[in-house]
Amino acid sequence: MAFGLIVGSASLVAQPVTIPIETENHVIVLQTDISNGLHTVYFGKPLAYPNEYAAVSGGYNYNDDNAGIYDAAYTPAGTWNLSEPAIQVTHADGNKSLDLKYLRHEVKPIDANSYLTTIVLKDPLYAFQVSLYYKVWKKENVIEQWTEIRHSEKGPVILRKYASANMYFSNKDFYLTTYNSGWAREMQPGETKLLPGLRSVDSKLGTRAMLLQSPNFILSFGKPASENEGTVMLGQLAWCGNFKLDFEVDSYRNLRFIAGINPYESEYTLQPNQSFKTPSLVYALSNSGTGEASRGLHNWARKYRVLDGEGERLTLLNNWEATYFNFDENKLKGLFKGAKELGVDMFLLDDGWFGNKHPRDGDTAGLGDWQENVKKLPSGLGYLVQEARQEGLKFGIWLEPEMVNPKSELYEKHLDWVIRQPQRPEKYFRNQLVLDLANPDVQDFVFGVVDNLFTKNPELAFIKWDCNAVIYNAYSPYLQKRGLPQSHLYVEYVKGLYAVLERIRAKYPKVPMMLCSGGGGRGDYELLKYYTEFWPSDDTEPVERIFQQWDYSYFFPAIVTDNHVTDWGRQPLKFRIDVASMGKLGFDIVTSHLNAMDRSFAQQAIKNYHSFKDIVWHGDQYRLVNPHEADISALLYVSRDKTRAVMFNYLVNTRYKITATDRPVVLNGLDPQKKYRVKEINTYPGIASTIDGNKEYTGDFLMKVGINPDVTLLRTSVVLQIDEVK
């Protein structure tokens, strides 16, 4: 791709315009037809001679009546389309037909690695246009697609469906992996071959995307997805509101893919000369399987997307499962001592610290009343922050500022701020309701909650931002009062949230914040512009967690996933700490309950974690043995310069006759020329390692033959540190 601003426009006698959207290893080619319709004509490896892209479409010969629209770059409804549309509108005059023709395009370089292609399509009959955006990061093979819709008709236009992206693949045989979820069972993968017809994955939860279905997906071309070979696309609709992904194998056995906001109850009235920007579809492509695609996405996320993605994170002790709502100053100060003893960076005060008229002593009251509870915390938060500092700890705090309990002063004073159907009984999700973020006063309130906390306690080092409820009885008092359609609520809620986060980040650009959602409800690449990390699941049972972390790892780098050691399950402390170390490590236990051996093991394991965390956070991840397919699971993180690596191995099947130790695990990502020593770390006091730490291996050997971590029923969790021998 040559750089410099490249522009094109429709000519009167239509000459085909060919627009390649090229990453380092992939290309999507769009091309106009004789009447300026824009089509996707190619998806595959880039051609050596870009002038040959123009000839690609010549080899295809679909010639029935509907040929010429099925592969539209953005499929309009109401004229001659017979497939799932990307856009459906009702014009100002009530007419529902839409046609879109190529008007012009430009390619703008951003830096040596990235560029933005903008293509403008216009209806020949109506003053209505759609701009398609493709932002490309070449080296990472990552593309972000979104659209912007505008019109200058005589009155408002109703947008009935308004997708972010519309893609077309003519490779044969498509395999789709999607993720079914629920509380404490997030990211359960399922792969199916797509058959002719439409397969949709969607959500209607309002506040969060991932509780039941996930906006993350893997598309594999030609055969089921595999880790080290084959063409795959790993993607996500970056929107925490309602989403819809439509996969349609058409009558030509090609795949149409349309992703965007869920049109469900979301007709949007667009005023003349205003524009509607859709959320982004973000995806990574690879011709060498899901491993490479994940590494591309991880690198992109850390470098270009996640707040402070290449920075540091704070290890912590959280008091949620240690105390639930039952704590006071002294109990917390006792936990500070435990945190210091463990050697973590921060203490995180969870739910239950607020509410006076309706104290937050359980999850039925107090939410919305963000003043310290004077009984539990008579000396206030400031005092706790200072006390933590005395112990050498930073102090973080839990908030759920988008929500309200009906038993709260906020609800009593501001019923008009609450999403609820005024004429129906209220329906609660975890005993709470959602605030109407479409309302700018509510946005001010939510911003104020955060701002007040920081103004009063400038040393606060971290926020855990929770979101436990979905929207039931979707009805906005604000939209009603302003005479605006209720069908704007789902969209305005999310936009309202972004507006608050913009303000928070303008004033507090750096403070780390965790996205939490009573389970992995909110890990998306739009919100992660404002947050440093997210909470993948309340399920911290470590065997379950191996599977979940594995499945999240396709889409998110380890640095953004928060893993806490808790008392869930029956695994020993070593197993729990090892599993939680594959991400950002935290603890949610009462340290005084640990016996002497466990305490000393934990202290050593945290020291070890501090010594290798930069590899887990900033290095390259290689999934070696899939727990869904074997008795063990093995994952490797390799430093960028390939001089250091850390490998995590776990037993995931406890039947007597396991085959885990039969054979070595083959490594990946090392330098074949370098020599390495493999040493077991995180061994439990008094238990000798069975790994000979003095042996030297070349990277070549480790990546062809491998090494046996000796995972057995007695050694269920094995962490290996791999260092270059100079």
The distance in angstroms from the start CA to the end CA of the chain is 41
Q: Say which DSSP state 76 is in.
A: B
Nearer to ligand DGJ, 57 or 537 (CB): 537
- 7-36: b or e for each residue (b if 16 or more CB lie within 10 Å)? ebebeeeeeebbbbbbbebbbbbbbbbeeb
What's the closest the beta carbon of residue 184 comes to ligand DGJ, in angstroms?
10
Asked whether 142 and 23 are in contact (CB, 8 A), the reply is yes
Nearer to ligand DGJ, 97 or 431 (CB): 431
What's the closest the beta carbon of residue 382 comes to ligand DGJ, in angstroms?
22
Site for ligand DGJ in 431-450 (CB under 6 A): none
Nearer to ligand DGJ, 225 or 367 (CB): 367
Closest to 365 in 3D by CA, of 428, 407, 326, 414? 407
Position 516 contacts ligand DGJ (CB under 6 A)? yes
Closest to 469 in 3D by CA, of 377, 384, 547, 368? 368
Nearer to ligand DGJ, 405 or 608 (CB): 405
Position 468 contacts ligand DGJ (CB under 6 A)? yes
What's the closest the beta carbon of residue 448 comes to ligand DGJ, in angstroms?
21
What's the closest the beta carbon of residue 400 comes to ligand DGJ, in angstroms?
7
Beta bridge partners of 645: 638, 722
What's the closest the beta carbon of residue 652 comes to ligand DGJ, in angstroms?
24
Nearer to ligand DGJ, 99 or 466 (CB): 466
- The residues near 576 (Cβ < 8 Å, ≥ 6 apart) are 540, 542, 565, 566, 569
Site string for ligand DGJ, 576-595 (x = CB under 6 A): --------------------
**Total residues at interface with ligand DGJ (CB under 6 A):** 10
Tokens 């990061």 sit on residue: 137
What's the closest the beta carbon of residue 416 comes to ligand DGJ, in angstroms?
26
Give 224: exposed, middle or buried? Use CB within 10 Å, 0-12, 13-18, 19+. middle
What's the closest the beta carbon of residue 434 comes to ligand DGJ, in angstroms?
15
Q: Is 333 helix (H, G, I), strand (E, B) or coil?
A: helix
- The residues near 710 (Cβ < 8 Å, ≥ 6 apart) are 661, 690, 691, 718
Nearer to ligand DGJ, 370 or 535 (CB): 535
- Compute the distance between CA of residue 130 and CA of residue 149 in angstroms, rounded to an integer: 5
Residue nearest to ligand DGJ (CB): 351
- The residues near 533 (Cβ < 8 Å, ≥ 6 apart) are 313, 512, 513, 514, 515, 559, 560, 561, 562, 584
What's the closest the beta carbon of residue 542 comes to ligand DGJ, in angstroms?
16
Nearer to ligand DGJ, 351 or 492 (CB): 351
Long-range contacts formed by 625-631: CB under 8 A, 24+ apart: 625/649, 625/665, 626/227, 626/550, 627/546, 627/547, 627/550, 627/652, 628/189, 628/547, 628/550, 630/660, 631/655, 631/658, 631/659, 631/660
Alpha-helical regions (H) of 619-660:
none
- Compute the distance between CA of residue 185 and CA of residue 189 in angstroms, rounded to an integer: 11
What's the closest the beta carbon of residue 324 comes to ligand DGJ, in angstroms?
8
Nearer to ligand DGJ, 350 or 680 (CB): 350
Position 402 contacts ligand DGJ (CB under 6 A)? no
Nearer to ligand DGJ, 496 or 586 (CB): 586
Asked whether 370 and 352 are in contact (CB, 8 A), the reply is no
Site for ligand DGJ in 611-650 (CB under 6 A): none
Structure tokens at 10: 């429709």
Nearer to ligand DGJ, 164 or 591 (CB): 591
Q: Is 244 helix (H, G, I), strand (E, B) or coil?
A: strand
Nearer to ligand DGJ, 396 or 518 (CB): 518
Nearer to ligand DGJ, 457 or 517 (CB): 517
Tokens 């000839």 sit on residue: 55
Site string for ligand DGJ, 361-400 (x = CB under 6 A): -------------------------------------x--
What's the closest the beta carbon of residue 466 comes to ligand DGJ, in angstroms?
5
Site for ligand DGJ in 199-238 (CB under 6 A): none
Structure tokens at 118: 């903008």
Position 153 contacts ligand DGJ (CB under 6 A)? no
How many C-beta atoms lie closer than 10 Å to residue 209's C-beta? Answer: 31
What's the closest the beta carbon of residue 316 comes to ligand DGJ, in angstroms?
12
Asked whether 307 and 508 are in contact (CB, 8 A), the reply is no
DSSP element (H, E) containing 389: helix 380-390
- Compute the distance between CA of residue 210 and CA of residue 216 in angstroms, rounded to an integer: 9
Q: Which of 153, 350, 544, 551 touches ligand DGJ (CB under 6 A)? A: 350
Q: Which of 248, 466, 526, 539 touches ligand DGJ (CB under 6 A)? A: 466
- Compute the distance between CA of residue 610 and CA of residue 587 in angstroms, rounded to an integer: 14
Amino acid (1-letter code) at residue 302: R
Q: Say which DSSP state 318 is in.
A: E
Q: Which of 292, 351, 436, 620 touches ligand DGJ (CB under 6 A)? A: 351
Asked whether 139 and 117 are in contact (CB, 8 A), the reply is no
Position 544 contacts ligand DGJ (CB under 6 A)? no
Nearer to ligand DGJ, 518 or 523 (CB): 518
Site string for ligand DGJ, 285-324 (x = CB under 6 A): -----------------------------------x----
User: Could you tell me whether strands 231-238 and 243-249 are parallel, antiparallel, or unpaired per DSSP bridges?
Assistant: unpaired
Q: Which of 153, 248, 538, 598 touches ligand DGJ (CB under 6 A)? A: 538
Angle CA(522)–CA(528)–CA(532) in degrees, nearest 5?
Answer: 105
What's the closest the beta carbon of residue 381 comes to ligand DGJ, in angstroms?
17
Nearer to ligand DGJ, 254 or 318 (CB): 318
What's the closest the beta carbon of residue 170 comes to ligand DGJ, in angstroms?
43
What's the closest the beta carbon of residue 518 comes to ligand DGJ, in angstroms?
4
Nearer to ligand DGJ, 53 or 535 (CB): 535
What's the closest the beta carbon of residue 403 comes to ligand DGJ, in angstroms?
10
What's the closest the beta carbon of residue 588 comes to ligand DGJ, in angstroms?
8
Site for ligand DGJ in 37-96 (CB under 6 A): none
Nearer to ligand DGJ, 76 or 355 (CB): 355
Q: Which of 260, 289, 401, 518 touches ligand DGJ (CB under 6 A)? A: 518
Which residues lie near ligand DGJ (CB under 6 A)? 320, 350-351, 398, 466, 468, 516, 518, 535, 538
